[in-house]
Structure 1
Amino acid sequence: MDYALKESSTKFETILGTALKVPGVRVDREQFLLQTLGSKIKDGNIVNLAIETDPVTAGIPIDKLDKIANSLIKKRTTNTSMLSFAAGMPGGVTMAATIPADTLQFFGTAIKLAQELVYLYGYGEIGNANQLDEDIRRELTLYLGVMLGVEKSAAALRVLSTNISKQVVKRTSRRALSKTTLYPIVKKIGAIVGVKVTKASFAKNVSKAVPIVGGIVSGGTSYLSMKHMGHRLSETLSESIYYTDADYEKDFKEVCNEVVDVEFN
C-alpha cells in the first residue's frame, strides 16, 4: 500500500473511531428490532422470535424487510440532509480538531444506518462481549465499503463477515480465511473509503464559501450520497439471504485475488 493510501487509511480510522464515540451512533439490536418490527408486525410472537433468532427465521417475508429497509434509509437520509445543511453554514461546530462537523455527523449517520440494516436482515449484535474493538471496526469498515461502492467490498462482506446472516448457506467443507488474511483487504477498503472522504470533504468545503448556497449544496450532496449508500448495503444484504455455495465460491476467489493484489502492491 503506497503512502497516500496509508495516510487515507489512518484518516478513515480516526473518523470511524471518533464517530463511534458520538452519542446515539451505536444501535442496540434488541431495542431496534422491538421498536422497528413492533410498529410493522402485528403478531408479537413473531417480533419476539425475530429478536431471539433473526427476522428471516421468524418468517418475515423478504419483500416486507425490503420495505422496512427503504423506510429506514429514507428516515436517515432526511436526518443527515437536515444536519448537513446546518453544518454547511460558515462557523459550523467542529467536534474534533481534524474532522469537520459535517463529515463526522455524516459518517455517524452512515454507521447508525449500517447497524440498523444488518440487524434487520438477520446479522447478530455488533460489539458483543466476544468481540474486540478492532474486530468491530473491521466489520463496520466492510459495511461502509459496501455503502460507498468500494470494489470487492460486497464480496468481502459476504465471505468474511463474522456476523454473516444465519440464512447464508454454510457447509463444513467451505474453506476458511484466517483473520490475518482478512486484515489486509479490510485495511485497503478503509484506505479507499478515506480517499473518498477526503474528496467529498474538499468539495463540501469549497461549497461553504457562499453561505446559504453552501448549506443547500452540502445538504443536497448528503441526501443523495446517503440514499445511494443505504440502498447499496440493503441490496447486498437482501441478496445474501439467497446466498448459495456457487455464490460463495465466486466471492471467495474474488477476495483471494484481492488479498494477493494487496500483498504485492
Structure 2
Amino acid sequence: MTESTEIASQSTGFAQVLDAAAKLPSVRINRAAYLRTALKRYCTEEQIEQAVTGSPAAAGIPLKVITDVANTSITYETSKVTGLSAIAGIPGGLAMIGTVPADLVQYMGHMLRVSQKLAYIYGWPDLFADEGEELDEATENLLILFVGVMFGVQIAHGAVSKVAGMVAANVATKLPQQALTKGVIYPIVKKVSAYLGVSMTKKLFAGGIAKAVPVLGAVVSGGITLGTFLTMAKRLQRHLVSLELTKPGHRSTPPPE
C-alpha cells in the first residue's frame, strides 16, 4: 500500500466515526438557540441579538462573560460524557461503522457538541446552516481539525488559525468552503484525519479501545475518565480564545486552567 493510499484509508476510517456521531440525536447544536440560552443571564436582549447576527465579541460582550459561558458548556458536556454508558439501539450508528462500539460514537458525539458550543461562543459562524441529514464536507473537515486540536495535533492548530483568519477577514457568515474542501487547508485535514484514524480506529480494531486512546479504556464498560475529556475541551478552548475571531472589542487572553 502506498503512503498516500494508507493515509486515505486511515482518514476515511476516522471520518466514518465522526459522520456517525454527527447523525446522533442532539449532536448538532443550533447556533442561535445556544447563544440566546447561554447569554441570557449575562446580557441584554440587544447584545444577544447582536451576538447571534454577528458574534459575541463583536457585540461587545466582555471576554470574562464569554469565558464563563464557555466554561459552563465544558462542565455540562464533561458531566454528561463522564456518565456515558453503552447504548445498543443507536439508529444506524453501528451499521455505518461496523465493529466500532456505540460508546465510541457516543463519546465522539460529545466532542462534537462541545466543539460547536466553543466555536459559537468564540465567534465562529453556524457550522450546520444546512438542516439536511448529510454532513457538509466543509463542516466535517473543520470538525476534524477541532478534534485534532483537542488531541494536541500541532498541524491542526495552525490550520484552525488559518481558517479563523479567513472568516475574520471576510466578516463571513459561512465557512470558507473552497479552502476547507479543495484549497490549502484540505491536505492538512487529510493528515489530521489519518492521524486520528490511527489513534482511534486502527488500534481499536487491532487490540481494543483501551489501546485506541490510552486512559480511555473505561469507555467499554461505560465510564469515561473525567480528566481526559476536560483536558481536551480546555485545549480547544485555549486555542479558540487566541484567534482573531475573539478580538473585536477585546484583548484576547487565555482562559484559566
Instruction: Judge same fold: TM > 0.5, yes or no.
Output: yes
1:138 partner SS: helix
Q: Which residue of 2 aligns with 1:234?
A: 237
1:124 partner SS: coil
Q: 1:105 to 1:180 in 2, by over 3 A?
A: same
Percent of matched pairs sharing the same residue: 29
CA distance in 2 between partners of 1:56 and 1:243 (Å): 6
Q: 1:214 to 1:137 in 2, by over 3 A?
A: closer
Asked whether the equivalents of residues 139 and 161 of structure 1 are also in contact (C-alpha less than 8 Å), the reply is no
The structure number with the bigger radius of gyration is: 1
What is the count of residue pairs matched by the alignment? Answer: 225
CA distance in 2 between partners of 1:77 and 1:166 (Å): 33
Q: Which runs of 5+ in 2 are unaligned?
A: 172-177, 212-216, 248-257
CA distance in 1 between partners of 2:21 and 2:218 (Å): 23
CA distance in 2 between partners of 1:54 and 1:65 (Å): 11
CA distance in 1 between partners of 2:196 and 2:189 (Å): 10
Q: What amino acid does structure 1 have at the position aligned with 2:121?
A: L
Q: How far off is 1:30 after superposition?
A: 0.4
Q: How far off is 1:204 after superposition?
A: 3.9
Asked whether the equivalents of residues 209 and 220 of structure 2 are also in contact (C-alpha less than 8 Å), the reply is no
CA distance in 1 between partners of 2:13 and 2:61 (Å): 40
CA distance in 2 between partners of 1:164 and 1:242 (Å): 8
Q: Which residue of 2 aligns with 1:118?
A: 119
Q: What amino acid does structure 2 have at the position aligned with 1:49?
A: Q
Asked whether the equivalents of residues 139 and 162 of structure 1 are also in contact (C-alpha less than 8 Å), the reply is no
- Equivalences for residues 1-265 of structure 1 within 5 A: 1=3, 4-38=6-40, 40-83=41-84, 86-87=85-86, 95-97=93-95, 98=98, 99-128=100-129, 133-161=136-164, 164-165=167-168, 179-198=182-201, 199=203, 202=207, 204=209, 219-221=223-225, 223-241=226-244
CA distance in 2 between partners of 1:242 and 1:93 (Å): 39
Q: 1:165 to 1:148 in 2, by over 3 A?
A: farther
Asked whether the equivalents of residues 149 and 232 of structure 1 are also in contact (C-alpha less than 8 Å), the reply is yes
Q: How far off is 1:219 after superposition?
A: 2.0
1:180 partner SS: coil
Residue deviations 1:119-141 (CA, integer Å, cap 9, x gap): 00111011335x98211111111
Q: How far off is 1:70 after superposition?
A: 1.3
Q: How far off is 1:148 after superposition?
A: 1.2
Asked whether the equivalents of residues 156 and 192 of structure 2 are also in contact (C-alpha less than 8 Å), the reply is yes
Residue deviations 1:102-156 (CA, integer Å, cap 9, x gap): 1000001101110111000111011335x98211111111111111111221111
Q: What amino acid does structure 1 have at the position aligned with 2:233?
A: G
Q: How far off is 1:66 after superposition?
A: 1.4
Cα-Cα RMSD: 3.4
Q: How far off is 1:67 after superposition?
A: 1.9
Asked whether the equivalents of residues 123 and 163 of structure 1 are also in contact (C-alpha less than 8 Å), the reply is no
Residue deviations 1:6-27 (CA, integer Å, cap 9, x gap): 3321111111111111111111
TM-score (norm. length: structure 2): 0.75
CA distance in 2 between partners of 1:233 and 1:73 (Å): 10
Q: How far off is 1:236 after superposition?
A: 0.7
